[in-house]
Amino acid sequence: MNPTIIIADDHPLVLKGLHDFLIEKKYNVLACAKNGKEALTLIKAHTPDIAILDIKMPFLSGLQIAEKCKNEKLPTKIVLITFEKDEKTYYDAKTMDIYGYVLKEFALEEIENCIAAVIKDNSYFSPELLKYLELNELPENFDSLTNHEKGIIKLISQNKTGVEIAELLLISPRTVEKHKSNIIKKLKLERKQNSLLIWAKENSAFFDT
């Protein structure tokens, strides 16, 4: 598949360099934009498969464009290119269902891998970014858990028994068991002995905050 692509960046040299690279690699680049307003107009006009956007642009940022596309249910998949390495920007991008996050200093090295992943409906986040932030992807179905359930898992990871958890949370042991059953169901774990304990131990780092 040769996806249709729109590029937007307010730095002329970056824009030209990325455009020329993609054209050389035979990608179907429909248009380029120098600011966020132009980019959003092009996305709405052409509904490309992929939009490669700088995060910081005049009028609209890449994240703001992603939010508008999400709210308007536009099918274009957003890839961000940026120098930004801060954790907040990373999580904002995840919240907006961004498909790709590529650091500019590695853009020409990584953009092909990113596009290949996006075509297959997979996300691509720059390995250097994840290494810099020392981040790992959250476990599958993690976001389906309530804060109360996460608290119970943290206690399980600390080898607390059902009775001990009940005493700490001022609830009955039976209620603890109900919570455990719901957690196992949400996480889609096999109902085997200690399956939840094993999962809690393996993912304890996500409950240390």
Q: What is the pLDDT of residues 163-209, one digit of tens each?
A: 999 999 999 999 999 999 999 999 988 877 788 988 888 777 666 54
Which of 133, 155, 174 is where one domain is finished? 133
Q: How far apart are CA 152 and CA 162, in angstroms?
A: 9
* 47 and 149 co-located in one domain: no
* 115 and 69 co-located in one domain: yes
How many structural domains compose the chain?
Answer: 2
* 13 and 108 co-located in one domain: yes
pLDDT at 67 over 60: yes
- Which amino acid is residue 20, in one-letter code? D
Write out the residue range of the structural domain in which residue 190 sits: 142-207
How confident is the model over 37-55, as a mean pLDDT? 96
pLDDT at 32 over 80: yes
Answer yes or no: are the C-beta atoms of 38 and 58 closer than 8 Å: no
CATH of the domain at 173: 1.10.10.10
Which of 80, 115, 133 is where one domain is finished? 133
| pTM score of the predicted model | 0.63
Which of 105, 133, 161 is where one domain is finished? 133
% the chain with pLDDT above 70: 94
pLDDT at 43 over 50: yes
Q: What is the pLDDT of residues 93-149, one digit of tens each?
A: 877 888 988 888 888 888 998 998 899 888 888 877 777 776 556 677 877 888 899
* 75 and 158 co-located in one domain: no
Q: How far apart are CA 29 and CA 101, in angstroms?
A: 19
Per-residue pLDDT, 38: 96
Answer yes or no: are the C-beta atoms of 152 and 179 closer than 8 Å: yes
Per-residue pLDDT, 9: 94
Pinpoint the alpha helices (H) of the chain. Answer: 12-24, 36-46, 62-71, 87-95, 107-119, 127-133, 147-157, 162-169, 173-187, 195-202
How confident is the model over 10-38, as a mean pLDDT? 94
CATH of the domain at 117: 3.40.50.2300
CA distances from 42 to 82, 96, 111, 185 (A): 20, 19, 21, 44
* 39 and 109 co-located in one domain: yes
Answer yes or no: are the C-beta atoms of 100 and 116 closer than 8 Å: no
* 99 and 124 co-located in one domain: yes
